[in-house]
Chain A
């Protein structure tokens, strides 16, 4: 830094997404105080523009690779891939929130400011090449999410969800931080590259500081991606949060946690891979099984999808266990597809109900397929995709993950994964069955149609089907990102 005292050695374009998102969030905070009508939705519009600008600025430098801020933040393939993904998740979430937050009377400028801050945290996590930056990004993302989950301030459920999420999330942050401190003590650095270099010079596994530190790191990140046995907060937080927030966090927060895991897995833990395979395999098996089996018992669709999201974290963990570049690109592919399917499924839930009422029980979906054919077809597509049935992208994602795992010789993991996928089809189909084969018991659920929300769902359906047929395009992208990331 001191070498160029009179220049600003900052690569503006590579930081474009970060700058745009922070600028947008700050602008929104001040925008609140300019006069506007009660029905004004300009905050949503500003966030949409911000997210598009962030995506566009990354697009300009999508092929360049460089390290910024003394190697604390890197602009490489993985950063570009995840920044696109987070911008896409943000855009779809804003579209889904557009009318939902108006209808449920949480239409506040802060809602969108927090959404952007959270997205910013995710982008920072994906681009972090240093454990301290990972921690800061994770906290930025999480703190914004804690508030978003409790945004329906007058609802007891929303507040309780927020409190549980906050306490367990902060607990996990404590583990993560202590893990980072121990790794710093063991290797003398928090930079992932330097850490890998130190480890290749000296065997670290005899060092208890390193072993415990890495374990705590896995616990901390495991909380964020809701891997069993660190998943307790997930169903409560997902159920109590405003549905648009559930959509956003189920896709974004999980992808961001995995972005950090992929990076750590490719560098630091990758260097001592063989010793982590048993631990991570056990977590993956537990996560898939507990998630799917518990989901079978749920009557609330939000809660069911929460357990389903736990199970999906298990599938991604299988790819991480497989390791290497192939494993990483399969994980990237899976995360992109998973984000779409989940945003779509939760997006449909945001359309259900009138005013502030929430209709998210399986029985509320009864007969929906015939009264609203478009909605029924879209939900069916997402359920098939989540269950991993062709010709959807969900099928291709599972094929790649299990293929990579087979190549790595993880036969038991693949068998358990496939069995779990079969189990999961039961509860996904239960939703479809309710929509087409059951009659509503009470008053049929009102659908609050809204153009932006419908557009978001339509986009998710189209991409889920498109990537099912043209999977190689996305997979190529994922593979190139991982190659450029090392």
Chain B
């Protein structure tokens, strides 16, 4: 059986990768993916703690966080796509291509 501390260590590593990703990457999509890494490291920590503490609460929270993350993806990608569309508005055929 894998000790909970390993999962926690992994979650800390993933969280750090996420934070560094947000700080050093310049592509909005990649930054956004790094943020998702941060959220998922939180999920991993929740599950690890839930197992360590023998309580179900932590696992239920993960569902909520996943839902929130999905909503965030929808909103975030919409914002990025809209900005992309505006920035390229000089090229008419590309506007046609991106019409949603």
Query: In the complex they form, do A and B come into direct contact, defined as C-beta atoms under 8 angstroms apart?
Result: yes
Q: A159: nearest residue on chain B (CB-CB)?
A: B83
Q: B84: nearest residue on chain A (CB-CB)?
A: A159
**Contact partners of A163 in chain B: CB under 8 A:** 28, 79-80, 83
Please tell me which one of the listed residues B8, B38, B78 contacts residue A171 in the complex, with CB atoms under 8 A apart. B38
0/1 string, A257-291, CB within 8 A of B gives 1: 00000000000000000000000000000000000
Please tell me which one of the listed residues A136, A154, A181 contacts residue B46 in the complex, with CB atoms under 8 A apart. A181
Q: Verify B57–A190 contact, CB threshold 8 A.
A: yes
| A328-B50 Cα distance, complex, nearest whole Å | 33
Residues of A in contact, count (CB < 8 Å): 32
Q: Verify B42–A160 contact, CB threshold 8 A.
A: no
Q: Verify B79–A178 contact, CB threshold 8 A.
A: no
Binding-face segment, A50-58, A139-147, A433-441:
A139-147
0/1 string, B31-52, CB within 8 A of A gives 1: 1100100110110011011001
**Contact partners of B32 in chain A: CB under 8 A:** 167, 170
Using known A-B contacts A150-B82, A153-B82, A170-B72, determine if residue A132 contacts B39 with beta carbons closer than 8 Å: no
Q: Verify B72–A139 contact, CB threshold 8 A.
A: yes
Interface majority SS (helix, strand, loop, mixed), chain B: helix
Q: Verify B39–A177 contact, CB threshold 8 A.
A: yes
Please tell me which one of the listed residues A135, A154, A166 contacts residue B68 in the complex, with CB atoms under 8 A apart. A135
| A135-B78 Cα distance, complex, nearest whole Å | 22
Q: Verify B79–A150 contact, CB threshold 8 A.
A: yes
Q: Verify B68–A185 contact, CB threshold 8 A.
A: no
**Contact partners of A173 in chain B: CB under 8 A:** 35, 39, 68, 72
**Contact partners of B11 in chain A: CB under 8 A:** 181
The verdict on B86 contacting chain A, using a C-beta distance below 8 Å, is yes
0/1 string, A149-192, CB within 8 A of B gives 1: 01001101001101100110011011101101110110011100
Q: Verify A188–B61 contact, CB threshold 8 A.
A: no
Q: Verify A174–B35 contact, CB threshold 8 A.
A: yes
**Contact partners of A143 in chain B: CB under 8 A:** 71-72, 75
Interface majority SS (helix, strand, loop, mixed), chain A: helix
| A316-B21 Cα distance, complex, nearest whole Å | 33
Q: Verify A167–B28 contact, CB threshold 8 A.
A: yes
| A182-B87 Cα distance, complex, nearest whole Å | 41
Please tell me which one of the listed residues A132, A136, A166, A188 contacts residue B55 in the complex, with CB atoms under 8 A apart. A188
Q: Verify B61–A132 contact, CB threshold 8 A.
A: yes
Q: Verify A177–B65 contact, CB threshold 8 A.
A: yes
Residues of B in contact, count (CB < 8 Å): 38
Q: Verify B72–A171 contact, CB threshold 8 A.
A: no
**Contact partners of B42 in chain A: CB under 8 A:** 174, 177-178, 180-181
**Contact partners of A170 in chain B: CB under 8 A:** 32, 35, 72, 76
Please tell me which one of the listed residues B39, B55, B86 contacts residue A174 in the complex, with CB atoms under 8 A apart. B39
0/1 string, B1-33, CB within 8 A of A gives 1: 000000010010001001100100000100110
**Contact partners of B76 in chain A: CB under 8 A:** 146, 166-167, 170
Using known A-B contacts A132-B64, A143-B72, A159-B83, determine if residue A167 contacts B35 with beta carbons closer than 8 Å: yes
| A23-B72 Cα distance, complex, nearest whole Å | 22
**Contact partners of B86 in chain A: CB under 8 A:** 153-154, 156, 159
Q: Verify B49–A167 contact, CB threshold 8 A.
A: no
**Contact partners of A189 in chain B: CB under 8 A:** 57
The verdict on B56 contacting chain A, using a C-beta distance below 8 Å, is no
Q: Verify A184–B57 contact, CB threshold 8 A.
A: yes
Q: Verify B38–A177 contact, CB threshold 8 A.
A: yes
Q: Verify A159–B49 contact, CB threshold 8 A.
A: no
0/1 string, B78-95, CB within 8 A of A gives 1: 111011001100000000
**Contact partners of A177 in chain B: CB under 8 A:** 38-39, 42, 65
* Chain B residues at the A interface, C-beta cutoff of 8 Å: 8, 11, 15, 18-19, 22, 28, 31-32, 35, 38-39, 41-42, 45-46, 48-49, 52-53, 55, 57-58, 61, 64-65, 68, 71-72, 75-76, 78-80, 82-83, 86-87
Contacts A/B (CB < 8 Å), 9 sampled: A139-B72, A150-B82, A159-B83, A173-B68, A174-B15, A178-B41, A184-B58, A188-B55, A189-B57
Smallest CB-CB A-B distances: 7 pairs? A174-B38, A185-B49, A181-B45, A177-B42, A159-B83, A170-B35, A178-B42
Other A-B pairs beyond A147-B78, A173-B68, A185-B53, 19, CB < 8 Å: A132-B61, A132-B64, A135-B68, A136-B64, A143-B75, A150-B79, A154-B86, A163-B80, A163-B83, A166-B76, A167-B76, A171-B38, A177-B38, A177-B42, A177-B65, A181-B58, A184-B46, A184-B49, A184-B58
